[in-house]
Amino acid sequence: MNLPSSPDERILIGRLLKPWGIRGWLAVYSYADPPEALFDYKDWQAGEDRQRIEPVEWHWQGSRLVVRLQGVDDRTAAEALAGTDIHIDGNQLPDLDKGQFYWKDLLGMTVIGLREQPLGEVVNFMETGAHDVLVVEGPSGRRLIPWVYGIYVQEVDKQADCIRVNWDSEWDEDV
């Protein structure tokens, strides 16, 4: 389940890194999963002024993605965009199947533990090789809870704005 997104909501989907070669190509970091799904989105916006940028072509170069943008034809033009975040309008995100969530929709939710005790609120997520991890800030500090649905994560209740977890506050130490 995901919340409807509006065109005014900007979603960070990638970052232009450094120039690649002399013809205006740039290395790009993708937050999409899989990484090449970044190129499924249209109307990229660069920087705070929402400058429109359009990918013309892309490919894998070893383990990194590189992109050529419309109107960026040399290394100097590419250097001007290096380090720029890539955003899209929120309404471009696809609808999700039941039981799937965008991280953005879970940020700020209250996390409730085994004995109905509030553990804190979701402030971030971490990707690990095995599974994602909820980063929860609460009165007793920060805790990391594996996002393993059915084992640690029991329920996401969008109506109540909370996530119920199989976790006890006594199980962890502040990290």
CB neighbours of residue 168 within 10 Å: 12
- CA–CA gap between residue 167 and residue 145 (Å, rounded): 8
Q: Give yes or no for residue 3 having a pLDDT over 50.
A: no
CB neighbours of residue 7 within 10 Å: 11
CATH class of 10-92: mainly beta
Does the domain formed by 103-171 have CATH 2.30.30.240?
yes
Percentage of the residues of the chain whose pLDDT score is greater than 70: 93
Q: Are 135 and 126 in contact (CB under 8 A)?
A: yes
- Residue 168: the pLDDT is 83
Task: Determine which of 6-15, 45-54, 144-153, 154-163 has the lowest per-residue pLDDT on average.
Answer: 6-15
- CA–CA gap between residue 144 and residue 122 (Å, rounded): 10
Q: What is the DSSP letter of 43?
A: S
Q: What token pair was written down for 78? A: 């590419």
- Residue 114: the pLDDT is 87
H runs (alpha helix) in 14-158: 75-81, 103-106
For the full predicted model, state whether its pTM sits above 0.85. Answer: no
Which residues in the chain are classed under CATH 2.40.30.60?
A: 10-92
What is the per-residue burial (b if ≥16 Cβ within 10 Å, else e) of 56-65?
Answer: eebeeeeeeb
Q: Give yes or no for residue 171 having a pLDDT over 80.
A: no
Which residues in the chain are classed under CATH 2.30.30.240?
A: 103-171
Give pLDDT tens digits for 92-118.
888 888 878 888 889 999 999 988 999
- CA–CA gap between residue 29 and residue 83 (Å, rounded): 10
The more confident residue out of 175 and 142 is: 142
Assign 172 a pLDDT band (cuts: 50, 70, 90). Answer: low
Give pLDDT tens digits for 31-58.
888 999 999 998 999 988 889 999 999 9
Computed over every residue of the chain, the mean pLDDT equals: 89
Helix/strand/coil percentages in the chain, nearest 5: 15, 45, 45
